[in-house]
Amino acid sequence: MTHTVLIADDEPNIVVSLEFLLKREGHRVLIARDGAEALAMIRAERPRLVLLDAMMPGLSGFDLCETLRSDPALAGTRIVMLTARSREADQARAMGAGADAFVAKPFSTRDLAARIRGLLA
């Protein structure tokens, strides 16, 4: 089933692979380069799932996650946090902010695709 998925990351080199992966999974892919752009696109396009990089310039992934979770209209949006920091504190922060999944970089794209499939099922 086709869903709209948004990738919010300021690293073009990861975006290119994630975009390819998600398109192959059959989804419609939106791309945002920072937190503010992502928030605007989410409000406008209502994606089913958001891949959020935790450390984006401006509005960080953590902040964006909290903003999304505080908006009842977006309650159904699945959120996956990506981060290059593997500290437990970051994972706890991500889950505390309301993320559905936390993925530490580097990761296997296969595993990521499986997690996304699980969240969209």
Partner 1 sequence: MKPGRLAPLIAPGVALGLWSLGGAVVFLSVLGPRGAALRQAVFQALEATWMVMFLWWLGAAVLLGWLAQRARHRLIVAPQRLLGAMRIAAADETMDSVPDIAHTPETQALAQEIDRLLGQRRALASYMARLVADASRSVAEQRDQLAALMTELDHAVVVCNREGRILLYNGRMRALARRISGRGGGDSAGAELIGLGRSIHALIDKAALDHALDRVEARIARGADGSAAAAQFVTASDAGHLLRASVAPVRRTDFAEMGGEADDSDGSDPEALTGFLLMLDDITEDHERQTRRDRALQDMYERSRAAVANMQAALDMLEYPDLGAADHDRFLSVIRDEVAAMHRRLLADEEAAAQDIGSRWPLHDMLGTDLLAAAVRRLAATAGAPITTQPMAQDLWLLIDSFGLIGALDHLARRILALHPDPVLWLRLTPAGPRAHLDLGWVADGAALDPRDYSALPDEPMAQPVAGALSVREVVDRHGGEIWLERERDSFGGSGGGRFFRLLLPRATADTAPPESAIGSRPEFYDFGLFAAGHASADDNRKLSELAFTVFDCEMTGLDPAGGDEIIQIGALRIVNTRILRGETIDQLVDPQRSIPEAGIAIHHITPQMVRGQPAIAEVLPVFHRFAADSVLVGHNIAFDMRFLKLKEAATGLRFDHPLLDTLLLSSVLHPAEDSHSLEAVAARLGVEIGARHTALGDAIATAEVFVRMIPLLARQGIETLGQARAASDRSQFARLRY
Kindly list the residues in this chain that would bind partner 1 in the complex (CB under 8 A).
11, 13-14, 16-18, 20-21, 24, 55, 84-86, 104-110
Q: Min. distance of Cβ 54 from partner 1 in angstroms?
A: 10
Query: Among candidates 58, 121, 61, 47, which has minimal Cα distance to 91?
Result: 61
Q: Which is nearer to partner 1, 40 or 92 (CB)?
A: 92
Q: 26 or 106: whose CB is closer to partner 1?
A: 106
Nearer to partner 1, 43 or 87 (CB): 87
* Rounded Cα–Cα distance for residues 115 and 121 (Å): 10
* Count of Cβ atoms closer than 10 Å to residue 108 Cβ: 9
Q: Using an 8 Å Cβ cutoff, are 65 and 100 in contact?
A: no
> Residue 52 belongs to what H/E stretch?
strand 49-53
In the complex, least distance from residue 43 CB atom to partner 1, rounded to whole angstroms: 28
List phi, psi (to 5°) of 4: -90, 125
Q: How many CB atoms are located within 10 Å of the residue 19 CB?
A: 18
Cβ 25 to partner 1 shortest distance, Å:
12
Nearer to partner 1, 21 or 59 (CB): 21
Minimum distance from residue 84 beta carbon to partner 1 (Å): 4
